Amino acid sequence: MASDTVKKHPFHMVPPSKWPLVGTIAALTMAFGGVWYMKEGPIYLFLVGVGILLYTAWGWWRDVVTEGRSGVDHTETVRHGLRMGMVFFIASEVMFFFAFFWAYFNSTVPFLSVMAHEVWPPEGVVPLDAWTVPFLNTLILLSSGATVTYAHHQLLKGNHKATANGLLLTVLLGLTFTGFQAYEYIHATFKFTDGIYSSTFYLATGFHGFHVIVGTIFLIVCWFRARAEHFTPEGHIGFEAAAWYWHFVDVVWLFLFVSIYWWGGSGYTPA
For residue range 99-113, what is the model confidence (pLDDT) as tens digits? 999 888 888 876 666
Q: Name the residue with higher pLDDT: 216 or 266.
A: 216
Q: What pLDDT score does 245 carry?
A: 97
Q: How far apart are CA 164 and CA 148, in angstroms?
A: 10
Spell out the domain ranges in the chain: 1-74, 76-265
In one letter, which amino acid is 206? G
Which residue from 48, 57, 44, 43 is spatially nearest to 29, judged by alpha carbons?
48
Confidence check: pLDDT of 4 > 90? no
Model pLDDT for residues 131-163, shown as the tens digit of each residue: 999 999 999 999 999 999 999 999 999 999 999
Task: State the average pLDDT over residues 250-262.
Answer: 95
Query: For residues 84 and 125, which has the higher predicted lDDT (pLDDT)?
Result: 84
pLDDT, residue 218, reads 94
Q: What local confidence, expressed as pLDDT, does residue 242 receive?
A: 96
The vertex-227 CA angle with 253 and 66, nearest 5°, equals 90
d(CA 208, CA 250): 10
| Range of weakest confidence among 83-87, 121-125, 256-260 | 121-125
Q: Report the chain's terminal Cα–Cα distance, integer Å.
A: 86
Check whether 198 has a pLDDT greater than 70: yes
pLDDT for the residue numbered 2: 43
Q: What is the dihedral of CA 251, 255, 256, 261, to 10 degrees?
A: 130
User: What residue type is 107 in one-letter code?
Assistant: S
Q: What is the reported pLDDT for 271? A: 62
For residue 244, is pLDDT > 50? yes
Which pLDDT score, from 0 to 100, does residue 118 have? 73
Reported as a single tens digit per residue, the pLDDT across 108-139 is 876 666 666 777 788 878 888 999 999 999 99
CATH 1.20.120.80 given to domain 76-265? yes
Compute the chain's Rg from CA coordinates.
22
Q: What per-residue confidence (pLDDT) applies to 192?
A: 84
CA angle, corner 263, sides to 174 and 192, nearest 5? 65
Provide the CA 104 distance to its chain's centre, in angstroms: 21
**Interior CA angle at 58 toward 250 and 175, to 5°?**
35
Report whether CATH 2.120.10.30 matches the domain 1-74.
no
**Rounded Cα–Cα distance for residues 245 and 243 (Å):** 5
Give the span between the Cα atoms of 215 and 241, in whole angstroms.
Answer: 10
What mean pLDDT do residues 214-234 have? 94
Residue 250: per-residue pLDDT: 96
Q: What is the mean pLDDT of residues 83-95?
A: 96
